[in-house]
């Protein structure tokens, strides 16, 4: 079975969409909380997710045909060359760290809600963050499982 490029591309697009939604919800949270950076963490989390997913799509092995990996085996899932593996690892690490921080903030907000609007906002951000992190794990599993090198 070959590399499921179409599935990975769909999952990357889902990451972009979730990143944009988290960015918008983070902006709403920042405004709703009057400049506090609690739920406003969605702004950097969403922006970095969109950047990381876009870079992953751009450097994917599916564009331009298959190219053998020149990365170390531990970093193959990040892309076909060593030049992109480092920056992508940094982008995805930052995105995942920001999403985990946002998840913690959303849980803290739900335990001590300031208003009904903030509860809804925290719930939406928790859902989007959980979906984004789940898709990261699914793509990682696919890349590690189907890597022909």
Per-residue pLDDT tens over the stretch 63-97: 554 455 554 555 555 555 556 667 888 899 999 99
DSSP the chain: ----HHHHHHHHHHHHHHHHHHHHHHHHHHHHTTT-SSGGGHHHHHHHHHHHHHHHHHT-TTTTS-----S-GGGGGG-SSHHHHHHHHHHHHHHHHHHHHHHHHHHHHHHS-S-HHHHHHHHHHHHHHHHHHHHHHHHHHHHHHH---
The pLDDT value given to residue 1: 63
Q: What is the pLDDT of residue 115?
A: 83
Range of the domain at 101: 5-146
pLDDT at 21 (0 to 100) = 97
Residues (pLDDT < 50) of the chain are 65-66, 71
pLDDT the model gives residue 116: 85
Tally of domains within the chain: 1
Neighbouring CB atoms inside 10 A of 1's CB total 5
């Amino acid at each position: 079975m070959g590399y499921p490029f179409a599935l990975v591309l769909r999952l990357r697009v889902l990451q972009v969409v979730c990143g944009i939604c988290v960015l918008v919800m983070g902006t709403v949270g920042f405004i709703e909380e009057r400049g506090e950076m609690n739920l406003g963490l969605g702004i950097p989390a969403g922006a970095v997710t969109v950047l990381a997913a876009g870079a992953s799509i751009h450097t994917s092995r599916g564009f331009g045909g298959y190219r053998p990996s020149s990365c170390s085996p531990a970093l193959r899932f990040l892309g076909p060359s060593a030049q992109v593996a480092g920056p992508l690892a940094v982008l995805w690490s930052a995105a995942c760290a920001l999403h985990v921080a946002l998840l913690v903030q959303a849980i803290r907000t739900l335990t001590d809600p300031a208003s009904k609007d903030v509860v809804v906002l925290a719930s939406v951000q928790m859902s989007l963050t959980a979906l984004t992190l789940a898709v990261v794990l699914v793509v990682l599993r696919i890349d590690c499982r189907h890597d022909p090198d």
